Structure 1
């Protein structure tokens, strides 16, 4: 078991919040520690957004809590009603992710108000201290690098997809192993989609960096699309190929075509990573695909109802090839423009 960066930073944020609480003379570090846990986020942009949202809703929650204590007193019913009001307001402001910490602030302030306004304000400052500690740790300790994470997960997803595709037609992989590998691939793709969202949320201040980042986002979308098309091909092979009459006669041709496409996909990723010469010609021959289409067309004429399943498989292969070629063109354009910008 490995300790991830976010796990490590959460522990450091809690430790820093407790240290600052003791340094500032707060009676208890618990509230600051809880606030730091809620504020840690997987990206600097999201962390900053969390801090600004938390600040707004916590100030609002503290004000409502103080007013409620003056009007209704500190009773369980009053605390519950104020919590309901704060939840509704947070939802209305589309800040649902701040509800947890805001409720902590409300309860702490209402509980402390019986001991005086200054004590209630001190409780609110504890919350701010925890938020500040978490934000500082997120920036200074192993800063999140969404782009690096995204690139690593693209490579991981391709490796898993390539293994499954290369054995899809031959069907040599054990069923339980195939199921586990496919589950891993699906999990990696979900993580990849999350990493893309983090990468998309990052902001650049310089206009030139904004343009570079915009081009990288376009390339990232095509990288994800190509992977999903590969998964679609895998699904079509599993659903239609083995149910098609006479599929054995096409096994070598389909297997060879898929092998060529997975190799092409790998070479595109190597080219994007700068490990291949920019001038290297890696695109598969379209004549080979054209021959396969013609052969399938002739085969389909014999018995359309029986043989159309193979056409579905071929169509998925052509779709995968189309998106790979599109990915290569986009990657070349992005690299050329980035080189010009530098």
Structure 2
């Protein structure tokens, strides 16, 4: 676990919640600190959604607690029954994420002394809500990190590793134990990419021109992640069916190797084009309109018909070829998106990323 901005914001939110609660002369300021822990989020938009959901969950929990405390009782058995009702209602209203804090609110409110129960219960409920407000204030003051930069860094470093291992595997130079270990790391990185992509997608823009550019960027990053996934799948297939690949005639191995090398090189070039490390071909669209991707498919099918070696598993070989074409399809579409974006958004497409710092 790394020490990051969210850990720092959590500590600041707890301190701010306790400070505000003390300013309001709350008898239990620690309740504000507890609720602040639940409400800290990595982005302003998520914090906004979180405080709305937490507030609804807390209102339901407090209402049930006050109703039980005033009209039924607040012994330990009734607290358990009230908790069951509270959870059932939260699930019914699709507020499952708020169950933890709502139950904390319910227990704390129902545990209020019988004398002056309503006043104490409302005070405790208000203190808990102060913690949510404090956490939201911290999320507003401390701007979230640049998720776009972080997302691209994850994509670039992961793709470099995937492409490096693909080339090593094709040339029979891969260390299998190390490759197996790195493949687990790659899978974790791809999952992390998706998380940062969601955070970046949720970021709000206020200018219409910026919003259009942001929408196109979202499409580009989504395709980049898909390319990473297809490249990872190709690496797994090449690793799994390496023996079948080795049984091909040398010229057919070279044919497949050249095609994969072309795709990995194109993939890397597109990533560098996106951050303006490689110039954009202004005549790209005109030159590629008439390109027929079926030509390469027919070439592969003709090559497969000539295979008559008994030791070659046709099914395994077709799995390799299918992954190659899936990877090529995603690369081709990424190429169209990147070039289209670069040609249409010249002023809004600047990304302050240096590959030497990744």
Structure 2-normalised TM-score? 0.85
Task: For 1:25 and 1:212, locate their aligned partners in 2 and report how far apart those are by CA, in whole Å.
Answer: 48
Q: Is the 8 A contact 1:5 1:142 kept in 2?
A: no
Report deviation, 1:105: 1.0
Distance change in 2, residues 1:292/1:216 (3 Å): closer
Q: Deviations over 1:279-301 (max 9, x none)?
A: 289999x8999679637624533
Report deviation, 1:318: 2.7
Q: Is the 8 A contact 1:32 1:131 kept in 2?
A: yes
Q: Secondary structure at the match of 1:319?
A: helix
Task: For 1:49 and 1:183, locate their aligned partners in 2 and report how far apart those are by CA, in whole Å.
Answer: 33
Distance change in 2, residues 1:127/1:312 (3 Å): same
Q: Is the 8 A contact 2:36 2:135 kept in 1?
A: yes
Report deviation, 1:176: 2.0
Q: Deviations over 1:57-89 (max 9, x none)?
A: 212221221111112111111111111111111
Indicate the residue corresponding to 2:31 in structure 1.
Answer: 31
Task: For 2:348 and 2:141, locate their aligned partners in 1 and report how far apart those are by CA, in whole Å.
Answer: 29
Q: Secondary structure at the match of 1:112?
A: coil
Task: For 1:63 and 1:126, locate their aligned partners in 2 and report how far apart those are by CA, in whole Å.
Answer: 15
Q: Map 1:41-120 to 2 at 5 A.
A: 41-112=41-112, 114-116=114-116, 117-120=118-121
Aligned residues: 341
Indicate the residue corresponding to 1:270 in structure 2.
Answer: 272
**Between Structure 1 and Structure 2, which shows a larger proportion of helix residues?**
1
Indicate the residue corresponding to 1:338 in structure 2.
Answer: 345
Q: Is the 8 A contact 1:45 1:201 kept in 2?
A: yes
Distance change in 2, residues 1:65/1:287 (3 Å): closer
Distance change in 2, residues 1:123/1:85 (3 Å): same
Structure 1 regions of 5+ residues with no counterpart? none
Q: Map 1:156-305 to 2 at 5 A.
A: 156-244=157-245, 246-247=247-248, 249=250, 250-279=252-281, 294=299, 297-298=302-303, 300-303=305-308
1:325 to 332, 336, 353: 332
Q: Secondary structure at the match of 1:114?
A: coil
Distance change in 2, residues 1:19/1:253 (3 Å): same
Task: For 1:165 and 1:229, locate their aligned partners in 2 and report how far apart those are by CA, in whole Å.
Answer: 12
Report deviation, 1:50: 0.5
Deviating beyond 4 angstroms after TM superposition, the runs of 4 or more aligned structure 1 residues are 280-284, 286-293
Segment drifting more, 239-248 vs 160-169: 239-248
Q: Secondary structure at the match of 2:112?
A: helix
Report deviation, 1:182: 0.6
CA RMSD, 1 decimal? 2.9
Report deviation, 1:113: 5.2
Distance change in 2, residues 1:292/1:200 (3 Å): closer
Q: Secondary structure at the match of 2:259?
A: helix
Report deviation, 1:114: 2.3
